[in-house]
Each structure stands twice: as C-alpha cells, then as structure tokens.
C-alpha cells in the first residue's frame, strides 16, 4: 500500500490558490490538508470559511481539515456541511474528547485526534478504537517550514503498538518537517499518511515530489 500524501495548503501561493489547487488535482496526492488556525490555540491565523468554500468548488481531492482552534465543537457542523472528509481536533483543545469525536461521526465525517509534540501517546488508550486517524504533530503547530522533531519517530512507533494492542483501525498521520528522509523514517515506524507543505509547494517539481512521497 502506497503512503497517503496530503499536501498542506498553508504553504501554497495565496496570490494564486486556484493554480496550486489545480496542480494538486492533477497530482497523485490523496488528500488536501487544510490548517485552520484561530490565533488563540496557536499563535497564528490562517483562513476561514469563504476560502474553504472556494477551494471546495475546484478541489477534486478529499479535504483533511485540521482544527487548531479552541472550542472546535462549535464549528464541527459547519466544516461537515462544507464538505470535509476528515476533521482533526486537538486532544489539548477538547475537554470532552469522546463527545467531540462522536459529534464529528454523527455528521457523517471521519474523525481524527491530533497530539502536540509534548502530548504522550498513552493518553489515547481510551479513545483509540473510536477514531479513524491520529495526527501526530512533528513540529509545534502554528507555522509552516519548521524543523522536524526527532522524538516523533518514537511516538509513531508507540502509537502503532497501541493501535495493534487495541486492534484499532486508526490510521497514523504525521505533520511537520516532512521530507523524503523524515518521511521514510516515519513510514518505517508505522505512519500511513504524511502531510507536507513547503517540501511540496516550494519544490522545483511538486508533482514529482508528491510521487516520491507516495513511494516511501
């Protein structure tokens, strides 16, 4: 099975988003990853519903929505109605995580939980069989182009072991500092999906870069 690749729109050319989205449409990418930031949960603001609605009209790839926001429950129905394929909520932002996951699933959308670099995998023991995916942040969320945190390799292996122990069907996605070197190491440790921003959009040949990631 080829690695799932989800280019991150945060690194695209916002002066010509249509061109970059159409490039993703032509590529072998599996999903388009959208980072939604509120300037509160993370120290940055990205984009909101008008841009996502415009992207949805032209994007042929499933939308992998990553909510880096406080109180994500308020917006689950909105992101579901806009056409999200997967909604990722942060463990650190959800007081009642099980309720939030069920709320996503009740909208007919796949549900994922995201862990910041400092949050241990063991905290997912009681939820791992309820989620469709776990997203591990391999940088501190909020900005693109950051350096990969090496401890993510160990976390990926620990998460894979937890999934096997609990007989969960959850996928493992990793976001931050992904390139061919770190991507290969992550896949070796059990990652199923890779989010790549600058490595894709700033490369000389984004289509080939996506192909290369898929072959890891």
- C-alpha 32/C-alpha 24 separation (Å) is 8
pLDDT tens, position by position, 132-186: 999 999 999 877 777 999 999 999 999 999 999 999 999 999 999 999 999 999 9
The answer to whether 120 and 152 have CB atoms below 8 angstroms apart is no
pTM (two decimals): 0.96
Q: How far is it between the farthest Cα atoms of the chain?
A: 47
Domain hosting 115: range is 4-214
Tokens 């061919």, located at residue? 180
What CATH number corresponds to the domain at position 17? 3.20.20.70
Q: Quick one: CA torsion of 121, 123, 127, 131, rounded to 10 degrees?
A: -30
The answer to whether 175 and 8 have CB atoms below 8 angstroms apart is yes
Residues with a catalytic annotation lie at 35, 175
pLDDT tens, position by position, 93-146: 999 999 999 999 999 999 999 999 999 999 999 999 999 999 999 999 877 777
Domain tally, the chain: 1
């Amino acid at each position: 099975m080829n690695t799932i690749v989800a280019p991150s729109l945060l690194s695209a050319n916002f002066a010509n988003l249509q061109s970059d989205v159409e490039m993703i449409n032509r590529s072998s990418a599996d999903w388009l990853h959208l980072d939604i930031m509120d300037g509160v949960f993370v120290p940055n603001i990205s984009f909101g519903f008008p841009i996502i609605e415009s992207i949805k009209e032209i994007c042929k790839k499933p939308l992998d929505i990553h909510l880096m926001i406080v109180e994500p429950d308020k917006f689950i129905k909105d992101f579901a109605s806009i056409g999200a394929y997967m909604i990722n909520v942060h463990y650190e932002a959800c007081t009642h995580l099980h309720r939030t996951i069920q709320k996503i699933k009740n909208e007919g959308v796949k549900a994922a939980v995201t862990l910041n670099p400092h949050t241990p995998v063991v905290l997912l023991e009681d939820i791992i069989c309820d989620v469709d995916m776990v997203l591990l942040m391999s940088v501190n969320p909020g900005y693109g182009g950051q350096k990969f945190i090496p401890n993510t390799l160990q976390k990926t292996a620990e998460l894979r072991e937890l999934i096997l122990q609990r007989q969960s069907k959850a996928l493992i996605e990793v976001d931050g500092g992904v390139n061919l070197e770190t991507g290969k190491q992550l896949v070796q440790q059990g990652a199923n999906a890779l989010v790549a921003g600058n490595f894709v959009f700033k490369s000389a040949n984004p289509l080939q870069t996506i192909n290369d990631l898929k072959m890891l």
